[in-house]
Structure 1
Amino acid sequence: MTDPLLQPFDTRAAFQQHLGEVLARAQATLVMFDPDFALFRLGAPDVDAALRRFLHGGGQLRLALHDPAHLEREAPRFVRLLRDYAHGIECRRTPRGLRDLTDSFCIADDQHIVRRFHSDHLRGEAAFDAPQQTELSRQRFDAIWAESQPGLQASVTGL
């Protein structure tokens, strides 16, 4: 058995291509961490369609982030998705003590991952069908999740 191939990238287009591949492969779980999800394009029609397909099939999406302002302002499709699939999406906001975390990743089914080493840069790597490559980031996500509180809601006003 050979080790899975890590696919390095350093452009926005490559990151978004790998992210699209991770979303397309997701069946049961998606976990994502990013300070604000600006580069994830969660409000774009193609990403919205991929997430709707995933959630319609019974998938569970968990997002952890520092600040939901970008999603609230720039991703109305994602806010609508959150309203439509509230039973399948949970968003949490990190406490101040974790705001210095700057990595970024998306993991599907503990098998596929795309990660940027720093959220301010596009350098990163992707791996598919590689549970051993997702393990450390998944543990990191679980620790972030445990410290975080409910964040982005379907209705920003709470009504």
Structure 2
Amino acid sequence: MVEAGVQGFTGHQEFEAHLRTVLENSVASLEMFDPDFSVFPLGAADVDAALRHFLRRGGHLRLAMHSSGHIERYYPRFLTLLRDYSHRIECRVTGRNLHQLTDSFCIGDEVHIVRRFHSDHMRGEAAFHTPQAAEISAERFRGIWAESLPGLHATTTGL
């Protein structure tokens, strides 16, 4: 079990390590927002295994993004996961009115979070077992989700 508290990070490896910790410590929900998920290791075998474990236990995964192109081109494992667990994964794409949003985060069970302050940089913070650290981003995610449209489907026809 990871210790409660907030930790800053400044590099890609730290970001990925914190992201994996959020995935491993989440039970019911994972909510992620990033412009294109290009720095999220969604194609890595260990991340796929962690997400499968999470989804098998009944968890729900929601991704919101500006563009799904990177995932479609470079993350075949994630697309297979989406097909296998389409009943537990939802993906939405934002409209142009939200493309000015440049932060990036993953929230687990609304108590764990890894957040980059700007999607062009690896500087950010991670917090575990700290609901108040995830509260603003969780509210932000709900707003983004409400303003986004379904996208990135399990099949090319969206079925």
* TM-score scaled by length of structure 2: 0.96
Deviation at 1:17, TM superposition (A): 0.3
Name the counterpart of 1:150. Answer: 150
Q: d(CA) in 2 for partners of 1:132 and 1:156?
A: 39
Deviation at 1:157, TM superposition (A): 4.7
Matches within 5 A, 1:1-159: 5-158=5-158
> Aligned pairs, how many?
156
After TM superposition, what 4+ stretches of structure 1 lie above 3 angstroms from structure 2?
none
Q: Deviations over 1:91-146 (max 9, x none)?
A: 00000100110000000001100000000100000000000000000000000000
Q: Which SS does the other structure have where 1:42 is aligned?
A: coil
Q: Which SS does the other structure have where 1:39 is aligned?
A: coil
Give the unaligned 5+ runs of structure 1: none
Q: Which SS does the other structure have where 2:90 is aligned?
A: strand
Q: d(CA) in 2 for partners of 1:131 and 1:35?
A: 24
Q: Contact 2:42–2:75 at 8 Å: present in 1 too?
A: yes
Deviation at 1:158, TM superposition (A): 4.3
Deviation at 1:6, TM superposition (A): 1.5
Q: d(CA) in 1 for partners of 2:7 and 2:83?
A: 35
Q: Contact 1:32–1:63 at 8 Å: present in 2 too?
A: yes
Identity of aligned residues (%): 62
Give the unaligned 5+ runs of structure 2: none
Q: d(CA) in 2 for partners of 1:158 and 1:26?
A: 28
Q: Which SS does the other structure have where 1:110 is aligned?
A: coil
* TM-score scaled by length of structure 1: 0.96
Q: Which SS does the other structure have where 2:97 is aligned?
A: helix
Q: Deviations over 1:72-99 (max 9, x none)?
A: 0000000000000000000000001001
Alignment RMSD, CA only?
1.0
Q: d(CA) in 2 for partners of 1:77 and 1:155?
A: 14
Q: d(CA) in 2 for partners of 1:157 and 1:120?
A: 32
Q: Contact 1:72–1:156 at 8 Å: present in 2 too?
A: no
Deviation at 1:156, TM superposition (A): 2.7
Amino acid at match of 1:154: A
